[in-house]
Amino acid sequence: TDPEGTVSLSVVGLGNYARSVSIPAIEAGDYATVSAVVSGDAEKAARVGDVHGAVPLTYEQFAEGEGVDAYDAVYVATPNRIHLDHARTAADQGKHVICEKPLEATPERAAALADACEAAGVTLMTAYRMQTDPVIRALTSFVSAGGIGEPTKAMGEFSFPVLAGSKGPDQWRLDAELAGGGALMDVGVYPLNTTRYLLGADPVAVDAMARASEPFGSQPDDPESPRFADEHVHVLAEFPAGTVGEFTASFSGDADSWLEVVGSDGRIRLENAFVPGGDRTVRVSTDVGEVEFSGVGMDETVEEFDYFAHCVLTDTPPEPDGRDGLTDVAVSEAVYEAAATGERTPV
Ligand code: NDP
């Protein structure tokens, strides 16, 4: 259906991703617009607001409800440990929420975020752009229709050399408090969430190993509070029906992202699986033969904001909802515990 109207968004946090990817994606789509921009830097808000014809606000003004009539929904793009505060403000204002991944830094805070939106009766979407990627959507239909038979295992990696970037060691991604962890929370969530989506199933238990070298910080030595900024993480996940998941993520070394799902009758391999922009390579091998497509897909982030706005306009619950976001944060809690104790940990 083609609904009437558009959803106007307040973009909260004018960081790298919001400015370079999300705002252009919102503007490129059909159903959402940018109508307010919120930043700790009033001058930046004014500058960005000017370019996009949006009301500039500071976090304090946003929290106090200034400019509240300018927007229908709030896009939260601040560091993970602050998502709850902004989402709560939005829910209290009766505004719908699209919140960046991971939903929050801990399961308690992620649950509080989902609960606040549910209690306020507003739509909440976790901004998992892989779930609006046409290639991933098509593969999910193929797998659920039995295209590769019974899925037996899924393997994937997302590694991104964060320290090699311009921000150096002093950044929130390496602050376990603000990020809720390290590589697992930032990039490991992609193979994990995408596999959950592709299989339509959630892990019941995990084994894990996580490590960090200077200047990433200390190792997990407190089983009671095992979250730390992991540089490398390796996860073995047990799904129902005995399907095995194996995921790895890193903040250093060679950048790479791929995903492979193996079934009783075939396998799917995705290269460039998780980078934004949709330029993916897919190879599907079954008893019938093998096909490979390169350079496929489209900008899934444009579709992500259009999908969210379409859900709001048609009062349809989005697929990547708050519970979906919470599940990954809960799995990550189990991963850090398994890495600290060396034991298989139920989710
Ligand atoms: P940046 O560091 O580039 O931006 C974060 C912004 O948050 C800052 O620029 C700042 O904006 C604001 N902020 C508020 N409080 C703080 C604080 N205490 N420390 C640092 N920044 C603060 O991060 P990203 O844009 O890369 O990431 C933001 C969110 O988006 C994260 O949740 C991340 O996981 C997610 N993300 C999602 C991606 C995806 O593909 N879906 C890709 C990249 C990130 P201001 O100066 O305006 O106040």
| Cβ proximity of 159 and 253 under 8 Å | yes
Predicted confidence (pLDDT) at residue 220 exceeds the cutoff of 80: no
Q: What is the CATH number of the domain that holds 216?
A: 3.30.360.10
Has residue 142 been placed in a domain? yes
pLDDT at position 224 is: 81
Beta strands in 107-160 (DSSP E): 124-126, 151-159
Average pLDDT over residues 289-304: 92
pLDDT greater than 80 at residue 22: yes
- What are the C-alpha distances in Å from 313 to residues 5, 132, 175? 8, 17, 37
Residue pair 41/59 in contact (Cβ under 8 Å)? The answer is: no
Q: Examine the domain organization and report whether 176 and 63 are in the same domain.
A: no
pLDDT at 218 over 90: no
Q: Whose CA is nearest to atom 44 of ligand 1?
A: 17
Residue that wins the pLDDT comparison between 277 and 315: 315
CATH code: domain of residue 104: 3.40.50.720
Question: How does residue 222 score in pLDDT terms, banded at 50, 70 and 90?
Answer: confident
Q: Is the same domain home to 283 and 135?
A: yes
Share of the chain above pLDDT 70, in %: 99
Based on DSSP, count helices (H) and strands (E) in the chain, helices before strands: 12, 15
- Taking alpha carbons only, the member of 327, 113, 107 closest to residue 199 is 327
Nearest to 101, CA basis, from 93, 92, 110: 110
164/118 same-domain check: no
The percent of residues above 90 in pLDDT, for the chain, comes to: 89
Number of structural domains in the chain? 2
44 CA closest ligand 1 atom index: 47
Mean pLDDT of 39-68: 98
Helix (H, G, I), strand (E, B) or coil at 215: coil
**Nearest residue to 175 (alpha-carbon basis) of 237, 82, 94:** 82
Name residues contacting ligand 1 (CB within 6 A): 13-18, 39-41, 44, 77-80, 82, 100-101, 127, 129, 172, 186, 276
Domain span at residue 125 reads 7-129
- The protein residue with its alpha carbon nearest to ligand 1, atom 14, reads 78
Of 96, 113, 129, which residue constitutes the final position of a domain?
129
Give, rounded to a whole angstrom, the gap between the first and last alpha carbons of the chain: 38
CA distances from 35 to 12, 27, 68, 119, 303 (A): 11, 11, 10, 25, 19
Sheet holding 345-346, edge to edge: 289-296, 280-286, 266-271, 256-263, 151-159, 244-250, 232-238, 205-211, 345-346
> Are 251 and 104 contained in the same domain?
no
The pLDDT value recorded for residue 81 is 98
Is 303 within the bounds of a domain?
Answer: yes
DSSP-assigned letters across all residues of 288-323: TEEEEEEEE---HHHHHHHHHHHHHHHT---SS-HH
> Pick from 113, 129, 145: which residue ends a domain?
129
| CA atoms of 184 and 170, how far apart (whole Å) | 18
Residue 75 has pLDDT above 90, yes or no: yes
Domain boundary among the residues 108, 129, 150 is at 129
Q: Does residue 234 belong to any structural domain of this protein? A: yes
pLDDT for 307 equals: 98
Name the token pair of 40: 């700790």
Give the tokens for residue 161: 């050399």
**pLDDT tens string 168-204:** 888 999 999 999 999 999 999 999 999 999 999 999 9
Beta-bridged to residue 75, according to DSSP, are 11, 98
Q: Are residues 201 and 73 in the same domain?
A: no
Mean pLDDT of the region 192-221:
92
**Same domain, yes or no, for 279 and 258?**
yes
R_g of the chain computed on alpha carbons = 20
ipTM (interface predicted TM)? 0.99
Res 221 pLDDT > 80? no
Other CB atoms within 10 Å distance of the CB of residue 164: 12
Q: Residue 1 falls within a domain, yes or no?
A: no
pLDDT for 214: 81
195 & 332 share domain? yes
Q: Whose CA is nearest to atom 4 of ligand 1?
A: 15
Q: Is 2 part of any domain?
A: no
Q: Say if residue 215 is in the same domain as residue 294.
A: yes
Q: Please check whether residue 19 lies inside any domain of the structure.
A: yes
User: Of 11, 12, 17, 302, which is best to mutate to test ligand 1, by the most ligand atoms within 8 angstroms of its C-beta?
Assistant: 17
- The whole-number pLDDT of residue 191 equals 98
In this structure, the answer to whether residues 119 and 228 fall within a common structural domain is no
Pocket test for ligand 1, best of 61, 76, 100 (most atoms within 8 A of CB): 100
| The predicted structure's pLDDT at residue 165 | 84
Query: Are 50 and 124 contained in the same domain?
Result: yes
* Predicted local confidence at residue 164, as pLDDT: 86
Q: Give pLDDT, residue 168.
A: 82
User: Is residue 183 one of the residues assigned to a domain?
Assistant: yes
To which H or E segment does residue 249 belong? strand 244-250
Q: Of residues 31 and 241, which shows the higher confidence score?
A: 31
CA-nearest residue, atom 23 of ligand 1: 15
251-262 pLDDT, tens per residue? 998 999 999 999
Residue owning the nearest CA to atom 13 of ligand 1: 78
With a cut of 90, say whether residue 154 has pLDDT above it: yes
Tokens representing residue 154 in the block? 């899924």
Pinpoint the alpha helices (H) of 248-289.
none
48 assigned to some structural domain: yes
Coil, helix or strand at residue 189 = helix
Instruction: List, in order, residues 6 or more apart from 63 with CB less than 8 Å away.
Output: 89
Task: Give the model's pLDDT for residue 298.
Answer: 84
User: For residues 236 and 234, what is the distance between their CA atoms, to the nearest angstrom?
Assistant: 7
Is 171 in the same domain as 263?
A: yes
Q: What is the mean pLDDT of the chain?
A: 96
d(CA 164, CA 161): 5
- Check pLDDT > 90 for residue 61: yes
Of 22-31, 76-85, 162-171, 175-184, the range with the lowest mean pLDDT is 162-171
> Ligand 1 atom 15: the closest Cα is on which residue?
78
Residue 258: the pLDDT is 98
| Whether residue 153 sits in one domain with residue 99 | no
The three-state secondary structure class of 115 is helix
* Atom nearest to 19 CA in ligand 1: 25
